[in-house]
Structure 1
Amino acid sequence: MRTIDREILRLAGPAFLALVAEPLFLLSDAAVVGHLGTGELAGLGIAAAVLQTAVGLCVFLAYGTTAGVARLLGADDLRGALRLGLDGIWLAVAIGTVTTVAGVLLTGPLVALFGVDGEVRDFAVTYLRIAFLGVVPLLVMLAATGVLRGLQDVRTPLYVAVGGNAANIVLNVVLVYGVGPVDGLGIAGSAWGSVVAQVGSAVALTWVVVRGARRHGASLRPDLGGVRAAARAGVALVVRTLTLRIAFLVTTYAVALGSGGGADEIATHQLAMTLWTLLAFVLDAIAIAAQAITGRSLGAADVEGTLALTRRMVRWGWVSGVVTGVLLAATSPLLGHLFTSDPDVPGLLWPVLVVAAIGQPVAGVVFVLDGVLIGAGDGRYLAWAGVGVALVYTPVTLVAASAGAGLVVLWVLLSGLFMGGRLVTLVHRSRGDAWLRTGPRVAT
């Protein structure tokens, strides 16, 4: 067990710090924009929900690439691992280009789906249209990070994430509020600052992967067959991720519906979701270790080692969830004041955060088992299980919102019904052996 724990710590420690840095892109935006006004913060919340959905659907570029590269590494095919990783990066460029064009053209209709109007709508459109320009670098960052994690290198993504986030904070403050005689750009400055930081981060990560590919003789040119294979392998993970994003979008829509488009409630939900996402990434650090180690272990045909890893990972997930839950509950009365000057939002926020804190242990186990099954290439099961949970959660949440359910009730449904449903499906799968498929390549 000590060997497994050391391996988990070696990968999860830097991954934890990198994942904390990643959501701080949005958290720092929220902190800077929140002091412009509640309308700007609410607009950021709507824009963030759309952008996170567009980028989140492509998380398979990181997760699937991590698992695939790790399997080939376990099978002692380093050149093949790098070639697979480069196919993922080229796929990221292709998907990102299409998403950027479509997103810029459809920004107005996408924001209109949330039923907001007035200044909240205008701020959301302004931020989102600019932010879509950063989709290509964001997706390249996902793919390149997946390659490096699959190669068991979690330190490079950490350094790049920290540097990119530091640049984002500086750029946000300067571009939003201005410097000296130069006027700030308001919420548009926040979007531009994030885009510039994302471009720099993408360039840094890609350079590291390209350098490794050259060293080991892997071609840098796009292999259309490999890109198509990467796309096909990612379909199941896209469906799995889509079910997650649907749940978050449904929750945001339900908040807007239940509050009648009230800026205070939407802004509160935005802050709660941002903090919840931050903790989710913290828990996901262990899941990333699970992806990398599980893929490598099954690539080397070590079934017993994989089972031992899974048992240990579940324990880590539960304990981590308890720790993050206690910390969130203890700080919930104070956090609202850090992100907004509105006197009403902190009072609305703290009971929502208490609900989220209670659900953290369940979330810890869910994230770990999700990572294990992704590392095993069990994407099809994750997709179908996600669809089943979403089909239950969506109508229940919308009915509750139509009946006037407030923020706390909606977050109880998110933490209990949705995350609880995912827990049941993942535990059921992990107790069988259908996911324990060995070999250098397993289609998802």
Structure 2
Amino acid sequence: MGVGAILSFWSNMGKLPLLMFFKDSRNVLKRDELGSEIVNIAVPATLALLADPIASLIDTAFIGRIGAVELASVGVSVAIFNQISRITMFPLVSITTSFVAEEEATSKPTTEAEQDANPERESDVNQELVPLTGNGNVKKSQPDGNSKKHVPSASSALVIGSMLGILQTLFLIFAAKPLLGYMGVNSESPMLNIAQQYLTLRSLGAPAILLSLAAQGVFRGLKDTKTPLYAIIIGDSMNVILDPILMFVLRLGVKGAGIAHVVSQYLIFLILLWRLAGKIELCPPNFKELQFSRFLKSGFQLLIKIWLATSLLADGLAVAGQAILASSFAKKDYEKIVATASRVLQIGVLLGFLLSCTLAALSQFAAQLFTNDRDVMQLMNLSFPFIAVTQPINTLAFVFDGVNYGASDFAYSAYSMVLVAVVSIFCLFILSSSSGYIGIWIALTIFMNLRVFAGLLRVGTGTGPWSFLRN
């Protein structure tokens, strides 16, 4: 092989899409313009995502002091509520973030020539020129100088969120007992009444949760993750304050915890709606601008995705990657696409190892915070090593989701997840029957590894929206 052939070989190797993951790896923590943009979006998003689990943990700590039956009852109710909620809320938030970011990126100012050709658009001679979005929608300037953005996807998300929230409430109220029975809480169990009451109460907050998440998706698309953070902190603080008052002072017990949670969710939604009303036009001029077909098409592709949330810190990083990538894809800024994808994935690896070390250090003390029951503590102690060790893989799985959603690659995400789910469920049945509780965690570890492989395969081979990497 001649020198020319060797140089040609290494030149082609350097163009492999897979090598994108190592691009500028020495600058992974550099506070340049891209790094600052990621941090400004990811950190508030991460804190917002952590606020609700922390409030839920405080709920759990209060409930655990009432008794083991109450703790188990609430645990199974929350598991049902969360799994039903994920079917609706995850596609809604992810799709809204991408659509709003794309609409923002493709907006362009109206020129004087366009204004002269369309004089009817100017209702006031003193009104400033209005920006025109890439799809022909107008951003209107208000007489007081405050500009409200015209984002049809935001209105669509709120309408769909309200409908899904009401449907979820009705479903959980009428199906609470059968669902609990499916989870092993039969009619003779002392857990049944407590679990059914708590699940019914929590279901009343579903509309507020779905609407809040739709609003958060809009704010994320606008690259504003601070507003949702403030709203969630206020709402969850109210939850923590109401917990001891309702549970112990008013002696409502577990029902008090459910009421506190529902009140906090509606408070979060009202704050977000108030802030959103000052930024965008919530009511579009006509029904056609509500992009229901676009939402439903992408939503259906994501509804079949199985979601396992084990590291919400990675979600914040994924949100930053998704928002920046959706904007960059809309502008066809391929250089920024590569730089953003490689940076968030590299940060994800570092974050995963940091989480592993932190969880390993806390594993001996965590169980004691929530219960004194020895059996429960034993199961928690068995689980923590798996949770800690798999964090780098879990983090990459979440970040790859954000990367692919930023490319609006929803169909691949859905179809690949179906295949991953089939393989993982097969492993779950085999391993759980042979190794019991440990087998379940091994199967979940296989599931997360397959998710990472699916994300790596799409981007690393330069297919779909990533085909530009092969040029």
TM-score by length of structure 2 reads: 0.80
For structure 2, the 5+ residue unaligned runs are 1-26, 108-132, 140-148
Indicate how the Cα distance of structure 1 residues 56 and 25 shifts in structure 2: closer, same or farther if over 3 A, else same.
Answer: farther
Counterpart for residue 141 of structure 1: 212
Counterpart for residue 430 of structure 1: 459
Counterpart for residue 417 of structure 1: 446
Do residues 37 (structure 1) and 67 (structure 2) align?
yes
SS at 2:332's partner residue?
A: coil
Counterpart for residue 109 of structure 1: 178
Mapped to 1, the partners of 2:327 and 2:55 lie a distance apart of 31
Mapped to 2, the partners of 1:191 and 1:317 lie a distance apart of 35
Counterpart for residue 319 of structure 2: 288
Mapped to 1, the partners of 2:330 and 2:290 lie a distance apart of 22
SS at 2:190's partner residue?
A: helix
- Give CA deviations for 1:392-444 in whole Å, capped at 9, x if unaligned: 111321233334x3433321221x21101111111001113334379xxxxxx
Counterpart for residue 233 of structure 1: 298
Mapped to 2, the partners of 1:221 and 1:398 lie a distance apart of 51
Indicate how the Cα distance of structure 1 residues 222 and 101 shifts in structure 2: closer, same or farther if over 3 A, else same.
Answer: farther
- Superposed counterparts of 1:3-82, under 5 Å: 3-58=33-88, 59-76=90-107, 77=133, 79=139, 82=151
Indicate how the Cα distance of structure 1 residues 71 and 291 shifts in structure 2: closer, same or farther if over 3 A, else same.
Answer: same
Mapped to 2, the partners of 1:219 and 1:165 lie a distance apart of 31
Indicate how the Cα distance of structure 1 residues 222 and 111 shifts in structure 2: closer, same or farther if over 3 A, else same.
Answer: farther
Structure of larger gyration radius: 2
Mapped to 2, the partners of 1:228 and 1:132 lie a distance apart of 27
Runs of 4+ in structure 1 off by over 6 angstroms are: none
SS at 1:119's partner residue?
A: coil
Counterpart amino acid of residue 86 in structure 2: G
SS at 1:314's partner residue?
A: helix
- Give CA deviations for 1:264-290 in whole Å, capped at 9, x if unaligned: xxxxxxxxxxxxx4x511111100001
The 8 Å contact of residues 63 and 71 in structure 2, kept in 1 or not, is answered as yes
TM-score by length of structure 1 reads: 0.85
- Give CA deviations for 1:97-132 in whole Å, capped at 9, x if unaligned: 112112101110011111223122332212111111
Mapped to 1, the partners of 2:272 and 2:290 lie a distance apart of 24
Counterpart for residue 210 of structure 1: 277
The 8 Å contact of residues 98 and 406 in structure 2, kept in 1 or not, is answered as yes
| Identical residues among aligned pairs (%) | 29
- Give CA deviations for 1:153-173 in whole Å, capped at 9, x if unaligned: 110001011111111111222
The 8 Å contact of residues 87 and 223 in structure 1, kept in 2 or not, is answered as no
Counterpart amino acid of residue 74 in structure 2: L
Counterpart amino acid of residue 184 in structure 2: G
The answer to which of 129-138 and 52-61 deviates more is 52-61
The 8 Å contact of residues 61 and 92 in structure 1, kept in 2 or not, is answered as yes
Counterpart for residue 157 of structure 2: 88
Do residues 174 (structure 1) and 245 (structure 2) align?
yes
RMSD (Å), alpha carbons:
2.0
Counterpart for residue 407 of structure 1: 437
Counterpart amino acid of residue 161 in structure 2: A
Counterpart amino acid of residue 252 in structure 2: L
Q: CA deviation at 1:326?
A: 0.7
Counterpart amino acid of residue 80 in structure 2: V
The answer to which of 61-70 and 227-236 deviates more is 227-236
The 8 Å contact of residues 168 and 193 in structure 1, kept in 2 or not, is answered as yes
SS at 1:327's partner residue?
A: helix
Q: CA deviation at 1:382?
A: 0.6
Mapped to 2, the partners of 1:123 and 1:52 lie a distance apart of 17
Do residues 363 (structure 1) and 363 (structure 2) align?
no
